[in-house]
Chains A and B, each alone.
Chain A
Amino acid sequence: MGVTPNCRRGAVGRGHGLAVALLFGVCGCGEVRVVLSRAPMHTAIEYQSDQTRYAGTVAEPLCARSRGTTAARPAMGACFQTGDGLRVELRTGLRRGAAGRSVTTSEVAARLREIAPALRVTENPDSTLDISGRPAAVLAAMFAEQPVYWVVEGVIEGTGPFFVTSPSDEALEVARLIGVPSKELVALRRRETRWFGVNDVVFYSPPEDAATLVPRLHHQQIHVCQGFGPAERDRLTGAAARPEAWRIEPLPPTTLAAAVGAGLAPECDRAAVATALRAVACDPAWLRKHQLRPAHQALHPTTFTLDVRRCPEMPEPAPACGFDIVSNSGWGEYATSFAGALAAAGWSARPVALPPPEEKARRIGEPIQVSMLGLSGDDENLIPSTIQLFRDLRWIATEDGAELEARPDAAKADFREVPEEARQAFSGWLRAHPELVPLATVESFTARNTRLSGFEHAYLVDVDALWLAPRSEWGYLVLVVLGVLVGLSTSMVQGRRIRRLDAARALLSGQLRAASHEWKSPLSSLRQSIRTAEGMDRHERVRLLRDLDFFYRTLQRFRAFADAFGRAPAPEPVLRLRVDIVEPLITSMRQRAAELEEDVRIALSGVEHGDARVSATVEQALRTLLDNAHAYAGEGGASIRVRLAPAGPLRVAIEVEDDGIGIEAELSEKDLFANGRRGKRAKDHRPQGLGIGLFVTRQLLEGIGGTIRLVHREKPTVFRIEVPCKGGRRKP
């Protein structure tokens, strides 16, 4: 198995998903090579067989599905040079149309003629198409010149000449560099492109260009392969038989680890493993001797990877199952580890870690992506099913907001149980990585068309990688230190800010309290002077006293406001809620009411139970309720009843009941206790007022663990205060 590198990180999903796709199947002959791209937009497949060795690339623009395109999308199985044109071998049945049926060669030809009249499209008896005319001729000429071709995934726009279009700028750059006329290069407008038919544009370029371009392409969906076609195929087949001609790249550590995991070599001797694997790659005799079977030897001379599947009896068919565990996010250690776990469980597995496209792949929050693929090779419909299934998986993993949409339809799919051993293998692996467990959710579903593909099971595991995974213990240490430093600095900054705010709040509330006190002194004097002033008209006296009373009560509210918000709740001196606390309030209210020529009747009951000790805050709360009852009295004057009673262990309740104007139903209890909110009824009755009384009262009471609530809205209006008693004894 091989892997086509692709690191289009920007297009990968929502940035918080780790997809571990486990496709379990049975690989019968082991001769099918599948390269699945990691591109969110495409799925590419290369395959070979014993009988015919060729390579094709199928690129599926997955976004077509999201747009609901129903047009047939034939896939190009292979293309060959044919003089001045290309012969395209359409793998009918390779790609199922959205309508659920296979696309025929004739349909493809008709579609090509429709959308590209400049092309000459000829159907051949062997189900291939001959295409000539620009730009196919251009491509063919290029193919004729150079044996190495580029596979640039892109699409050919459906109108006019074939324009090279691709989601990636790099692909366009390739097209320019290899000589496609610039006027024919049309940047792909993704949303507007009509996807159809031939999904790949195959360019041919000298190898030196390949060497230059590959690093610049950031592992886009471009890979270098040996050419194919009747002549090239024969030539390359010969070349493949000469391992000494290969360019052997350094083996990735994950491959070594996979070899270890597969039991190929002891873990301690990595150098020996590397040597052995190189020998495996270069010496067929050695391979045969060690009952190993190479793969990929012809297809990827520059990106060589090695299949380490154990083959006990060469040249018998390969073992029944194998996996590629692909990590393309720089999280290769998980792929390696996972592969090792699977290998230990008896599965043939190989981790393939693709390098991160950029450093950002290792940033916090980047998703981990690991996929694992198992194949069943004895089904002729393997490839299209693979495409379909893997596309589903990729879609789930990469397309934002389309997860549910892309999941196989449960009603139509042939679901089966997940093999227990596979589940256990994964669970065991996950247990070995407890850091992932809180982040992982495991779902399983089955590929559609299981009957055709032999694919039986698929897992999708999403792991939100919200943390930075270091590569070593030192990395963890650095991470911890950094975290502590960040936490401390944040805490210090926040602490300073909070302290500043607290200081400002304390200063403001202190000023408010001091001012309210200073104002009260002249108010008291003024009040007594008004009361005793000689020769003042009685009505004028009452009016002045009422104004003064309003001013005074507002001052009291501000004072309470400052008390509630100006300082942290602190234990207040305990007072006894007894007659000498409650009664002065009532007495002064009675007196003021008398002076204001208002009728206030206050009944006090339950005080004999009030030996409980409560916070002095109650006094302020009670004052507010009494003031309100007084201020919003009805026509017949204020009739107020204050009841005190025990409210459970170490709690005392005070109910203030009046027959005033009441509280309309439209004013919710939340609004009633909100800052600055007054009901319409209250405003009509008494336009002046700030609406802070109940708000402050609630804040004050909550500060000492008390509550206040509206028990009844009108006739009577009842507020109930409950406050804790602080260790006081309470008479029954």
Chain B
Amino acid sequence: MILMVDDEPLRVSAWTDALKRRFGDSFFLFMDDVGAFVRYLRASGSAAPDLLILDVGLPTPDEPGYTERSTEYGTRTGAQIFDEVRARWPGTTVFFLTNVDDAGVKGRVIPKLGERGRYLDKYDTAPEKLVAAACDALGLPHGPDTAQEENP
């Protein structure tokens, strides 16, 4: 299962549409409610996704353990959530798909992403590239749609 968390569904529709096309609704799940995601993350028996696509600049959920910590670039809740994800779902591959490119966040999370984890810039990451990376991370072949979109 691929789970994508981003609080701006319209702005990530290009990526979600591509993922849906490649993996279908049954294998791709999108959540725009960060609080709901945290609750899911903490719920016992929740199935861990194979791939989590996470934004960094997420709003702070109204859940225990999260406090508003704004920076010049906005909140960095995604980085905090990532720490909890790593603790609860150690086997999950995590992609960061974000506009945040400050060195502080990258320096903190990139070393923890592992070999298959990626830190992807939204501006530079085309939807088909994200799909290809997801396939690579999950050990799946690039689908025909993906192959077709490699060269728009």
Contacts and interface: CB of A to CB of B under 8 A. Distances in A.
B8 interface: yes
Interface string A35-55: 000000000000000000000
A525 B11 contact: yes
A617 B121 CA distance: 17
A724 to B, nearest CB: 16
A595 interface: yes
Interface residues of B, number: 30
A531 B14 contact: yes
B73 to A, nearest CB: 5
A584 B124 contact: yes
Nearest to A623: B101
A591 B14 contact: no
A592 B8 CA distance: 24
Contacts of A584: 121, 124
B122 A513 contact: no
5 contacts: A513-B72, A517-B73, A528-B122, A584-B124, A587-B124
A574 B110 CA distance: 11
Nearest to B18: A532
A573 B11 contact: no
Interface residues of A, number: 32
A525 B14 contact: yes
B100 A517 contact: yes
Interface string B85-106: 0000000000000011001101
Nearest to B113: A580
Contacts of A619: 103
A523 interface: yes
A588 B72 contact: no
Residue of A514, A531, A573, A591 with highest tally of chain B CB at under 10 A: A573
A443 interface: no
Contacts, number: 82
B104 A573 contact: yes
B103 A528 contact: no
Given A523-B123, A531-B14, A510 B72 contact: yes
Interface in A576-609: 580, 584, 587-588, 591-592, 594-595
Interface of A: 510, 513-514, 517-518, 520-525, 527-529, 531-532, 552, 572-575, 580, 584, 587-588, 591-592, 594-595, 616-617, 619
Contact of B126 (A523, A591, A617): A591
Contacts of A532: 14, 17-18, 127, 152
A513 B125 CA distance: 21
Nearest to B130: A528
B100 to A, nearest CB: 7
Given A616-B103, A619-B103, 5 more contacts: A521-B99, A524-B122, A524-B123, A525-B10, A573-B103
B99 A517 contact: yes
Most buried by B among A522, A531, A552, A619: A531
Given A514-B74, A575-B107, A591 B129 contact: yes
B108 interface: yes
Contact of B11 (A510, A514, A522, A591): A522
B74 to A, nearest CB: 7
B107 A517 contact: no
B82 interface: no
A524 B11 contact: yes
A588 B152 contact: no
A528 B126 contact: yes
